[in-house]
C-alpha cells in the first residue's frame, strides 16, 4: 500500500538491525530478518563423521531449519564443523528419493512402484536365489552410517533367517585394520581411552591422519591443547604429505609412502637401545608374539629382531626428510613425555599391512607404558558415525556376530542362537565373503541377489571399474536402500527410499565406545521409510516365500510395532540386554531411557543403568574406573586386560617386519598415488555435494603435485593432468603445492565425475589379515594433457 521499493528495503534494513538488539519496530518485520526462529530443538548426533558431535536440530512447522552444537557434550563441547552445521539441509532436499523404483533389467528405465510390490519383488528375488543357488548366493552389504538397530536387524535376518554369513559393510574399507590391531595387540577391539585424554596428553603422535579435515572437531581439541600449552605440549605429525593437520606440529616426519613400518620399528629400537622402556609395565602386562600361530617369544628375541631396524637403516628406507637423529628424537619424546597419545586413521589402516602398522603403534605404547593412565592412549579414529557401534559391535562383518563374537567359535554362535530363540546350528559356521571377496564373487556370477544399504560401493571400492562390471550383471539382482541417487543406484534393479537421520530413531556408537541416541524430529519425505521397517516387512515376506518359520522367528519380537520409535527400541533392547550381556561391550545400562537422559550418551562397558547414568567407562581395563576390570580381575594388579581375544590376559608386543606396499613405482608408473579427504566433503559426496556451500568450496577433485615434480614435468597450477595406473585413468586439474612428498601425488576421494573418480585408478590389493584394501598407495604415471579448462561439478541425479 503505497510502500515504494526503497521504503521496503529500508524497513528490511531497520528490522534486521532492530532484531540484533531485541527491539520490536512499529511495522511488521520482513521474514528474512527473523530467520533463526524455531518451534523446538531436538538433540541428536551429527550424521557425518565418526567423531560423534552432538547437535540440536531446530524444527519449525515440521521442517528442519537450524542446527547448533551441544555445549554439554563431552565429544564436541558445542563445536561443529562445516559439514556438521549444514547437513540438516539434506532433510528437505528436492532430490531425495521418495518412492520405490524398479526395473527388471538394468538396461530399462526405472518405474515407480508401491512398497507392497517393492517388498514382494525383493523377497521373491532373494528367495529364488536361495532356492536355486543356495544360501550363500545372497548377500548384504551395509554401512557404518546405518543405525545400530538397522545393522543388527539386517544381519539377524541374513544369518538366522537366510542362513548365510554374507554380511559385510563399508567399515571393512576403513577400519578393519584397526580392529585387527586392537584384537591382536590388546585382546579387545576399540580404543582403551577416550577423547578426554586429549586434554591430559603432553605428546601427540599423529600418524596417517589428516584430522584437521577428516575429524575437524577432534582436531580442534588437539589444536587447543597445543595452542594453550605451546611449550609443554609436543605434536609430532608423521605423514608423506604436509596437510592442514601439520600446521600445529612441532615435528613433521615426511617419508615415502609405505615406509613407516620401518620407522616405527626403529622408534622401538631407540626406546630399548636408550633404556626408555617401562620395564616394570612390560614385566607386569606384556608378552611377545610372532607369526601366524601367535607363538610366544621372549623380550630378548624381540630385541634381537629389532637389531635389524637401526635408525640409520630405517632412514635409508624412509627417505623424505627422515634422518636417524629425527627418529631418535621422536622416540625420546614419545617415551619420555608424561602422557603420549597416538592418533591415526586411514593412512595406517588402508594398507597392505595395515594390521601390522596398527600393531607397531601399539607396541610403542606397551613398551613405554603409555597406556591406561590419563592422557596416554593408542587411539584409532573412525571415519563413520556408526562403524564402531553398529558394525564392529553389532555384528556387521562376515566373521563377527553381535557383541564382539567370532562366527567361527561354536560356543559363541550358540549363545547368539539361544538369545534369538532359533535352532542351534542355524548360523552357518563358516564366515561369509569379506568385502573384496564379495564383489569378486559378484564378478564371478556367484552372488545372485545383493542388498546394498546406505553406501555406494560402485564409487568407493578400489579399482572400482572392475567391480562395477559385476554390479552391472543382469544375473545379480541388486536392491539399494538410500536417500539420494548414487553411482550405485545407477546399477540397481530396485531402489528403496529410506528415512534420513532425525527422520527415524536409533543409536550411533562413535570412535570412543560412546553410544548416543537420535530421536525422530521430522517426517521423512514422500514414501521414504526407516530401514528397520523395510527389513521386518521383507523378512515376513521371505518367510512365506521360503516356507521357513525360522525367518519369521527372527523378526517375531518386532511384529506390529510402529517404526518410528517402538520398533527400534525393541531391537535395541534385544541387542543390548541379550547379546552384550557378559561381553566386553556390555551395554545393558545404556537403555533408551538412559540414553535419552544423557546429553552425550554412554561409553561401554556400562553393565547397569546406575553406572550408565554417570557416563559409563572413560578408560577400559583400569580397576576403579572400568567395572569389568573388577569383575574379571585375576590378580591384584591395577590393570586387568580381560579382552576376549587373549587367553593370557596380557598385552602382546608383536615382532612384525617392515613390508612395503603391494605396488611400487617403476619406470612405467614412476609416481606413488595416495588418496584422501577434504574438509568440505564426505565419502562419495552424495550428501555434501548437494549442499551448495560445501559443493562450491570444493566443486571437484584435483591432483596435488609437489612443485619440484611439477616443474620437471612442465605442469603448472590448473593444468589438466592425466593420472593413470595399470587399472584406470583420471584427468584432473593440478594443484601445485608443497604438500605431498616428492615422487608422490595425492587426489581427493569424493568426486563422482567419471574423469575424476580416483577409485578407477587405485589398487584393490588388501591386507591378508584385515582384508582392508590399500587405497593409500599404488603406482601411477602423470602427464600434462592441456592447459586449464573450465570444469563442472557432477552429482548423480535420477
Please give the residue ranges that form the binding site for another protein (CB under 8 A).
Answer: 6, 9-23, 25, 33, 35-36, 66-69, 71, 78-82, 85, 212-213, 216, 219-220, 223-224, 227, 242, 244, 246-250, 252, 679-680, 692-693, 696-700, 707, 716-718, 735-739, 788-791, 793
Check 144, 161, 169, 383 and give the catalytic one. 383
Residue 246: CB minimum distance to another protein, A:
5
Cβ atoms within 10 Å of 1's Cβ, excluding its own = 2
Residue 249: CB minimum distance to another protein, A:
5
593 burial class (0-12, 13-18, 19+ CB within 10 angstroms)? exposed
Check 163, 350, 370, 384 and give the catalytic one. 384
Residue 698: CB minimum distance to another protein, A:
7
Of the pair 20, 61, the CB lying nearest another protein is at: 20
**Phi and psi, residue 251, nearest 5°:** -130, 130
DSSP code at position 376: B
- Select from 743, 583, 737 the least CA-distant residue to 671: 743
CA distance 408 to 401: 10
Grid coordinates given for 60: 519449525
Residue 556: CB minimum distance to another protein, A:
44
Of the pair 12, 414, the CB lying nearest another protein is at: 12
36 burial class (0-12, 13-18, 19+ CB within 10 angstroms)? exposed
DSSP code at position 575: I
Residue 226: CB minimum distance to another protein, A:
10
Of the pair 490, 704, the CB lying nearest another protein is at: 704
Of the pair 73, 130, the CB lying nearest another protein is at: 73
Continuous H helices in 613-761? 627-631, 692-697, 707-713
Residue 142: CB minimum distance to another protein, A:
30
Our answer to whether residue 384 is catalytic in this structure is yes
In a 13 Å sphere around the CA of 144, the CA atoms on its Cβ side amount to 25
Check 175, 341, 398, 744 and give the catalytic one. 175
Of the pair 18, 664, the CB lying nearest another protein is at: 18
Give the bridge partners for 295, in sequence order.
Answer: 290
Residue 283's contacts (CB-CB under 8 Å, 6 or more residues apart) are none
* Burial call 381-407: b when 16+ CB within 10 Å, e when fewer: bbbbbbbbbbbbbbbbbbbbbbbbbeb
Residue 426: CB minimum distance to another protein, A:
49
692 burial class (0-12, 13-18, 19+ CB within 10 angstroms)? exposed
Our answer to whether residue 735 is catalytic in this structure is no
Three-state SS at 728: coil
- Cβ proximity of 391 and 455 under 8 Å: no
CA distance 44 to 53: 9
**Phi and psi, residue 150, nearest 5°:** -70, -50
Of the pair 36, 631, the CB lying nearest another protein is at: 36
- Select from 502, 499, 506 the least CA-distant residue to 524: 499
**Phi and psi, residue 148, nearest 5°:** -55, -40
Of the pair 246, 349, the CB lying nearest another protein is at: 246
Our answer to whether residue 383 is catalytic in this structure is yes
Residue 24: CB minimum distance to another protein, A:
8
* Chain center to CA of 226: 26
Of the pair 646, 756, the CB lying nearest another protein is at: 756
- In the block, cell 562383518 appears at 397
Residue 66: CB minimum distance to another protein, A:
7
Measured CA to CA in angstroms, residue 201 lies from 60, 231, 334, 671 at distances of: 42, 13, 11, 37
- Cβ proximity of 229 and 413 under 8 Å: no
- Select from 599, 673, 684 the least CA-distant residue to 384: 684
Our answer to whether residue 83 is catalytic in this structure is yes
Of the pair 211, 546, the CB lying nearest another protein is at: 211
Of the pair 32, 293, the CB lying nearest another protein is at: 32
Cβ atoms within 10 Å of 579's Cβ, excluding its own = 26
40 burial class (0-12, 13-18, 19+ CB within 10 angstroms)? exposed
- Select from 492, 496, 502, 550 the least CA-distant residue to 523: 502
- Select from 237, 443, 186 the least CA-distant residue to 343: 237
- Cβ proximity of 733 and 701 under 8 Å: no
Helix and strand numbers (H, E) in the chain are 27, 29
Residue 389: CB minimum distance to another protein, A:
25
Of the pair 70, 673, the CB lying nearest another protein is at: 70
Our answer to whether residue 346 is catalytic in this structure is yes
- Cβ proximity of 178 and 489 under 8 Å: no
Check 83, 226, 352, 619 and give the catalytic one. 83
Grid coordinates given for 63: 521442517
β-strands 203-207, 234-238 pairing: parallel
Cβ atoms within 10 Å of 34's Cβ, excluding its own = 11
Measured CA to CA in angstroms, residue 180 lies from 189, 300, 330, 461, 668 at distances of: 8, 25, 26, 20, 34
Residue 233: CB minimum distance to another protein, A:
15
Check 174, 203, 757, 778 and give the catalytic one. 174
Residue 717: CB minimum distance to another protein, A:
4
- Cβ proximity of 489 and 480 under 8 Å: yes
Of the pair 5, 280, the CB lying nearest another protein is at: 5
Of the pair 78, 374, the CB lying nearest another protein is at: 78
Alpha-carbon torsion angle 772, 776, 781, 784, nearest 10: 130
Our answer to whether residue 506 is catalytic in this structure is no
Check 85, 346, 398, 780 and give the catalytic one. 346
- Cβ proximity of 235 and 252 under 8 Å: no
Residue 257: CB minimum distance to another protein, A:
20
List the catalytic residues: 83, 174-175, 346, 383-384
Amino acid at each position: 500500500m503505497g510502500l515504494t521499493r526503497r521504503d521496503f528495503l529500508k524497513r528490511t534494513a531497520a528490522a534486521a538491525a532492530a532484531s540484533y538488539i531485541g527491539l520490536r519496530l512499529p511495522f511488521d518485520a520482513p521474514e528474512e530478518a527473523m530467520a533463526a526462529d524455531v518451534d523446538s530443538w531436538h538433540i541428536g548426533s551429527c550424521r557425518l563423521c565418526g567423531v560423534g558431535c552432538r547437535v540440536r536440530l531446530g524444527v519449525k512447522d515440521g521442517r528442519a531449519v537450524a542446527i547448533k552444537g551441544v555445549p554439554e557434550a563431552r565429544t564436541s563441547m558445542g563445536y561443529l564443523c562445516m559439514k556438521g552445521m549444514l547437513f540438516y539441509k539434506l532433510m528437505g532436499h528436492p532430490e531425495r528419493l521418495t518412492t520405490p523404483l524398479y526395473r527388471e533389467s538394468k538396461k530399462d528405465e526405472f518405474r515407480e512402484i508401491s512398497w507392497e510390490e517393492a517388498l514382494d519383488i525383493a523377497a521373491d528375488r532373494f528367495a529364488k536365489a536361495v532356492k536355486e543357488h543356495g544360501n550363500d548366493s545372497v548377500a548384504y552389504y551395509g554401512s557404518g552410517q546405518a543405525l545400530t538397530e538397522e545393522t543388527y536387524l539386517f544381519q539377524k535376518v541374513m544369518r538366522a533367517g537366510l542362513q548365510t554369513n554374507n554380511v559385510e559393510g563399508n567399515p571393512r574399507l576403513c577400519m578393519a585394520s584397526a580392529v585387527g590391531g586392537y584384537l591382536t595387540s590388546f585382546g579387545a577391539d576399540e580404543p582403551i581411552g577416550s577423547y578426554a585424554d586429549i586434554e591430559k596428553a603432553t605428546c601427540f603422535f599423529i600418524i596417517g591422519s589428516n584430522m584437521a579435515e577428516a575429524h575437524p572437531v577432534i582436531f580442534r581439541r588437539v589444536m587447543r591443547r597445543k595452542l594453550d600449552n605451546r611449550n609443554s605440549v609436543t605434536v609430532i605429525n608423521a605423514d608423506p604429505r604436509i596437510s592442514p593437520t601439520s600446521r600445529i606440529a612441532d615435528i613433521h616426519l615426511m617419508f615415502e609412502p609405505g615406509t613407516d613400518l620401518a620407522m616405527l620399528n626403529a622408534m622401538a629400537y631407540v626406546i630399548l637401545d636408550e633404556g626408555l622402556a617401562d620395564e616394570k609395565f612390560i614385566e607386569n602386562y606384556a608378552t611377545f608374539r610372532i607369526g601366524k600361530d601367535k607363538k610366544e617369544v621372549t623380550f630378548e628375541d624381540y630385541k634381537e629382531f629389532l637389531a635389524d631396524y637401526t635408525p640409520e637403516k630405517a632412514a635409508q628406507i624412509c627417505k623424505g626428510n627422515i634422518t636417524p637423529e629425527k627418529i631418535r628424537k621422536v622416540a625420546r619424546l614419545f617415551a619420555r613425555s608424561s602422557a603420549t597419545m597416538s592418533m591415526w586413521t586411514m593412512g595406517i589402516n588402508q594398507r597392505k599391512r595395515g594390521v601390522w602398522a596398527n600393531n607397531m603403534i601399539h607396541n610403542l605404547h606397551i613398551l613405554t607404558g603409555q597406556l591406561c593412565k590419563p592422557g596416554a592412549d593408542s587411539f584409532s579414529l573412525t571415519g563413520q558415525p556408526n562403524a564402531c557401534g553398529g558394525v564392529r559391535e553389532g555384528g556387521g562383518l562376515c566373521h563377527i556376530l553381535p557383541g564382539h563374537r567370532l562366527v567361527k567359535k561354536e560356543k559363541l554362535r550358540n549363545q547368539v542362537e539361544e538369545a534369538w530363540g532359533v535352532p542351534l546350528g542355524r548360523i552357518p559356521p563358516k564366515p561369509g565373503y569379506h568385502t573384496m571377496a564379495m564383489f569378486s564373487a559378484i564378478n564371478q556370477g556367484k552372488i545372485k541377489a545383493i542388498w546394498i544399504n546406505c553406501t555406494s560401493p560402485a564409487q568407493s571400492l578400489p579399482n572400482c571399474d572392475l567391480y562395477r562390471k559385476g554390479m552391472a550383471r543382469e544375473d545379480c539382482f541388486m536392491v539399494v536402500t538410500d536417500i539420494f541417487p548414487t553411482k550405485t543406484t545407477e546399477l540397481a534393479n530396485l531402489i528403496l527410499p529410506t528415512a534420513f537421520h532425525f527422520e527415524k530413531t536409533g543409536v550411533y556408537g562413535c570412535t570412543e565406545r560412546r553410544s548416543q541416541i537420535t530421536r525422530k524430529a521430522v517426517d521423512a519425505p514422500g514414501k521414504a521409510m526407516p530401514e528397520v521397517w523395510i527389513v521386518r516387512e521383507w523378512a515376513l515376506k521371505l518367510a512365506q516365500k521360503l516356507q521357513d518359520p525360522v525367518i519369521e522367528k527372527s523378526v517375531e519380537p518386532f511384529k506390529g510395532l510402529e517404526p518410528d520409535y517402538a520398533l527400534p527400541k525393541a531391537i535395541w533392547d534385544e541387542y543390548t540386554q541379550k547379546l552384550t550381556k557378559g561381553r566386553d561391550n556390555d551395554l545393558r545400562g545404556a537403555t533408551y531411557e538412559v540414553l535419552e537422559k544423557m546429553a552425550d550418551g554412554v561409553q561401554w562397558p556400562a553393565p547397569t543403568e546406575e553406572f550408565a547414568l554417570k557416563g559409563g567407562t572413560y578408560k577400559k581395563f583400569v580397576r576403579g574406573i572400568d567395572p569389568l576390570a573388577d569383575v574379571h580381575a585375576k590378580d591384584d594388579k591395577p590393570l586387568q586386560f580381560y579382552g576376549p581375544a587373549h587367553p593370557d590376559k596380557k598385552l602382546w608386543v608383536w615382532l612384525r617386519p617392515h613390508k612395503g606396499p603391494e605396488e611400487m613405482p617403476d619406470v612405467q608408473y614412476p609416481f606413488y598415488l595416495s588418496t584422501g579427504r577434504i574438509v568440505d566433503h564426505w565419502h562419495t559426496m552424495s550428501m555434501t555435494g548437494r549442499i551448495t556451500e560445501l559443493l562450491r568450496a570444493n566443486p571437484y577433485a584435483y591432483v596435488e603435485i609437489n612443485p619440484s615434480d611439477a616443474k620437471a614435468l612442465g605442469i603448472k597450477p590448473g593444468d589438466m593432468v592425466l593420472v593413470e595406473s595399470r587399472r584406470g585413468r583420471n584427468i584432473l586439474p593440478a594443484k601445485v603445492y608443497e604438500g605431498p612428498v616428492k615422487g608422490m601425488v595425492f587426489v581427493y576421494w569424493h568426486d563422482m565425475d567419471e574423469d575424476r573418480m580416483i577409485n578407477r585408478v587405485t589398487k584393490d590389493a588388501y591386507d591378508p589379515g584385515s582384508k582392508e584394501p590399500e587405497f593409500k598407495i599404488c603406482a601411477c604415471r602423470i602427464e600434462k594433457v592441456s592447459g586449464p579448462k573450465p570444469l563442472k561439478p557432477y552429482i548423480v541425479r535420477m
